[in-house]
Structure 1
Amino acid sequence: MSSLQQYSLNFNKSLSYNFQGGNLSSDSGLLIIRSFVEKLEIKPLLADIFKDYSYKKHSFSSIAEQLIYTTIAGYRHDDDSDSLRNDPVFTNVLDKNSLASQPTISRFINSLDEKAIASLNKLLQNIFEKGNDLNTTSNIVLDIDSTNFETHGKQEGSSYNYHYGEKGYHPLMLFNGLNGDLIKTELREGSVYTSKNAKDFLEPVFKWLTEKYPSATIVLRGDSGFASSEIYDLCHEYNVEILIKLKSNAILKKLSDYVVSEFMNEFGLDYSKYHVMYDEFDYKADSWSNSLRVICKVERDSEQLLPRVNFIATTFNSEPKNIVRAYNKRGNMENFIKEAKLDFFMDTSSHSSFTANAAKMLIKALAYNIINIMKRAVFPVDMHKSRLSSIRTSIIKIACRCIKTGRKIHFKLCSNSPYQNQFNTIIKNIECFRPNN
């Protein structure tokens, strides 16, 4: 008979601990995640993607599912699954006797190819459709930007990026700026320019959205890195509206001289408060096929000596002030990227293969969209804007004991959880939820 090692605590010698508490889990909130995923019917969609791939014990689709759930629960590394192999919540959520180990996960990720990556991106769009009604969605704002995924080894395609001042990848990301849904993402080598291959990246999205949402107004919003003739022409071809910032140049400065002079005449000696003035004009760069309406914003903060001048190219007919306000909401995208990187670990590039890292990024993107749609569809109103890091603390990380009785399994959640009402509300809302088909 083996003895049970007890560890005493220095602040009170009458207290001790060990890790022999029984069939417990600290992630019982995954039960509601699985309930929502069941409504989205993601399990059969993953099975269809990986129908031609499987190991003897673990199908490729089940490993992809496992990575989605471990990501949501906050486990960044593949080898965390080794410790979770017999976790009662994970095994029941995944309908498995045990979880795939780190070597199995690694073999799975490194087996994926460009075809699998294309299929995962298609699934990302499929989830978007389930969370954005095809008949009632009237506006879609496509916020496009690049970001940096820092690397710390010899990953294929990783290189130094002078803009970020570090070595890594330089992926493109496309969000719906109105609700944060991730529409598409593409891993790229670290040294490529912001808008490199942006046309090829956007065109399939434009084609898909204009077919699926024919009555919706679609807007492309981006910074000056995406101010190119090929993107303007593509937007014109698919009837996509434009809100894109322009870099200042000699011609734009000349066209804006009048409003800058007017600004200085009116506010030049008043440094006590913020001042702003707007103007507009038509502008056509040499490489552009057509001229565009350009909004000029001249502003100066209190105690600032000279004004700042910004230019936004647009196809909208709205007032200049409204155009600037609409463009400035693009700042929300920084929060979407931040959550994707920090809470869903999308910037983790632990594999040496470029394709493997791209595939892992897309699996985490699926996790991101599941949670983002779930927040607005079934969460209490006061949790709609919560980040996953907060949701983990309140909803996911609830301890439970798993008890088997006859043919049933009971999960007895922590009696002292302060979020019992929210948990029960989410379960009820999931039962009423009907995804778009």
Structure 2
Amino acid sequence: MTSVKETSLQFNQKIKVSFSGGALSSDSGLLLYQEFDAKTGFSRLIEERLKIKAKDPVIHTRHTNAQAVVQKVYQHLAGYHTDDEAEELGREPAFTAILEKKRLASQPTLSRFNQRVDDETVQSLEAINQAYLDRLHALRPSAQMVLDVDSSNFETFGNQEGSAYNAHYQDMGFHPLFLFDALTGYCLKAALRPGNFYTSRDGVAFLRPVLEHLRSLAPGLDLALRVDSGFTVPELYTLCEGMDVFYAIRLKINSRLIQKAQELIAARQKKQAMPVGTSAVFYSEFS
């Protein structure tokens, strides 16, 4: 890291100002993550299961492909989300202690790793994530799981592959899918999509493997799915009902729903003598 050189004050040459305070770090909180990593075996999973198209597992004389992935994970944890920040972190004490290196992989080294990534690599990273989640589930098993699926907007700049205009967000970017376990906050799966993909596109294919895996992992698990109106497609209803998954799917407003709602409102107002203009929320059901 860049430091200010030692300097003497003009009014008294015996007084020196120095910024070289030894091996200081503002990222020491990563040591707690490293302890958790060691206990749950996340980095070991990467070492064992990462697949890369290059025959040589080493992208530099001091760095393997798996080590590059682990470094990128820890950089993200500490808020260093771009590869070029590896230059500043080259000899950062906390990072070098955690990764057991004298110097971190540089930005060019990380770029060489990125160039090796292909579909098989992405699939191996997804498998690593799933295997890790399975370990966490085994450590703290649950009788139920609430799944939240949604898409998001990732704004892009420049001519990036897959970047496209999204009319809903009125922006250029990607439109990825995410799946979360609402009870734990775990991100179970993510998929990058072009920016002009509609919300529900590939949604069923995205969700099906996860439901099948959870059913095989814990057959008695109570599963519930929550999605917004963008995922309102018959194939999703069929998938949930076929796999015994409870679901709550918001419907887009339409004339039929408005008619049904007005009938319910009128009945409730008559029953409870609610004055016109009163704000109230109530629930009902109909076929």
The answer as to 2:37 corresponding to 1:33 is: no
Residues of 1 paired with 2:42 and 2:283: CA distance? 48
| Distance in 2, Cα, partners of 1:183 & 1:235 | 17
Structure 2 counterpart of 1:61, from 63, 66, 87: 66
Post-superposition Cα deviations, 1:96-155, rounded to whole Å, max 9, x if no partner, equal: 221000011111122101111111112222222222238841111110000001111111
1:235-271 residue CA offsets vs partner (Å, 9 max, x unmatched): 1221111111111223333333421222444455354
Quick check: 2:228–2:250 contact (8 Å CA) kept in 1? yes
Q: For 2:90, what is the secondary structure of its paired residue? A: coil
Partner of 1:304: none
Aligned counterpart, 1:269: 275
TM-superposed deviation, 1:5: 4.2
Deviation at 1:193? 0.4
Structure 2 match to 1:158: 163
Letter matched to residue 99 of structure 1: L
Rounded Cα–Cα distance in structure 1 between residues aligned with 2:114 and 2:203: 26
What TM-score results when the alignment is normalised by the length of structure 1? 0.59
Classify 1:16/1:218 alpha carbon distance in 2 versus 1 (closer, same or farther; 3 Å).
farther
SS of residue in 2 equivalent to 1:275: coil
CA distance in 2, matches of 1:276, 1:67: 47
Q: Which among 168, 178, 185 is matched to residue 180 of structure 1?
A: 185
Write the distance in 1 (CA, Å) between the matches of 2:179 and 2:107: 30
In 2, are the aligned partners of 1:170 and 1:188 still within 8 Å (CA)?
yes
Stretches of structure 1 lacking an aligned partner (at least 5 in a row): 9-13, 283-437
How many residue pairs get aligned? The number is 273
Deviation at 1:158, TM superposition (A): 0.5
Task: Identify the residue that residue 173 of structure 2 maps to in structure 1.
Answer: 168
**Inter-partner Cα distance in structure 2 for 1:130 and 1:24:** 34
Tell me, what secondary structure is at the counterpart of 1:193? coil
Choose which of 230, 233, 237 in structure 1 pairs with 2:238.
Answer: 233
- Give the 5 Å matches for 1:13-412: 17-50=17-50, 53-55=57-59, 56-133=61-138, 136-265=141-270, 266=272, 269-271=275-277, 274-282=279-287
The answer to whether the 8 Å contact 1:150/1:166 transfers is yes
Tell me the distance in 2 between the aligned counterparts of 1:7 and 1:221.
64
The residue identity in structure 1 corresponding to 2:177 is: L
Amino acid at match of 1:6: T
In structure 2, give the amino acid aligned to 1:230.
E
The 1:154–1:212 alpha-carbon spacing in structure 2 relative to 1, beyond 3 Å, is: same
Residues 7/142 of structure 1: CA separation in 2 closer, same or farther (3 Å cut): farther
Partner of 2:120: helix, strand, or coil?
Answer: helix
Give how far 1:90 is off: 1.0
Cα distance change on mapping 1:17 and 1:198 into 2, 3 Å: farther
Give the residue type in structure 2 aligned to 1:123.
I
Cα distance between partner residues in 1 of 2:284 and 2:115: 54
Identity over aligned pairs, percent: 37
Q: Which structure is higher in RCO with an 8 Å CA cutoff and minimum separation 6?
A: 1
Query: What stretches of structure 2 of length at least 5 have no aligned partner?
Result: none
Return closer, same or farther for 1:151/1:256 CA change in 2, 3 Å cut-off.
same
- 1:258 and 1:93 mapped to 2: Cα distance? 64
Rate the CA distance shift 1:134–1:205 in 2: closer, same or farther, 3 A: farther
